[in-house]
Amino acid sequence: MNHLIAPSMLSADFANLQKDIEMVNQSEADWFHLDIMDGMFVPNISFGIPVIEAINKHAKKPLDVHLMIEDPDRYTELFKKAGADILTVHMEACRHLHRSIQKIHSLDMKAGVSLNPHTPINTLEDIITDLDMVLIMSVNPGFGGQKFIPQSYNKVRQLKQLIKDTGSNAKIEIDGGVSTDNAKELTEAGVDILVAGSFIFKSDDPLKTIKELKQPE
């Protein structure tokens, strides 16, 4: 399959949010990526349910919601009601991960699990066949604009092999330091979904930047 592009709205202009939503609608991007941070699991606070609901009113593409929060099970139903199509929780934040994934699926959302840079791929062995997506964090989560961690290439290759060995249908998403400098190498390593925030929204021509990420040279 051709890889997907999911612009991270954390880097959008919140004073002109509808304008940036319309830009993504008109672009070659495939999803909206929404980072939810609680100031506890990660050292930052982003936005919550009201902003997701506002984006959902205008978005014409699926909402890919990434929960960087403690005890995400408390809010699964709320994110579904707000418009989430894909809900990703962190391996490191879930005490009973299999139960968390079952709950997401029971609400008719696709379920993803995210791994922090220090968390090894083998921790997914007992859950990989239940997942729709795995999100590899290629920076330490919490802030946009960070430098890509090179070890992430190896993690993607290891994950691709695990998916192949187990017959899983999980897609591979990567978030952090993604740009046209590494998009081609990432997709060749096995990435299915590229998340980019500041690289898109701080560029001179976001539509062109998304197109270049979609068709890396």
181 as an active site residue: the answer is: no
- The distance from CA 89 to its chain's CA centroid, rounded to whole angstroms, is 10
**How buried is 205 (Cβ within 10 angstroms: 0-12 exposed, 13-18 middle, 19+ buried)?**
exposed
Task: Catalogue the E-assigned strands of 38-181.
Answer: 63-68, 86-90, 110-115, 133-137, 171-175
Q: Which residues of the chain have pLDDT under 50?
A: none
pLDDT score, position 216: 78
Q: Active-site residue among 35, 38, 64, 132?
A: 35
Of 44, 46, 96, 108, which Cα lies nearest the Cα of 72? Answer: 96
pLDDT score, position 172: 98
205 as an active site residue: the answer is: no
- The distance from CA 153 to its chain's CA centroid, rounded to whole angstroms, is 17
Q: Sketch out the chain's domains with CATH numbers.
A: 4-214 (3.20.20.70)
Rounded CA-CA distance 217/33 in Å is 24
pLDDT score, position 143: 60
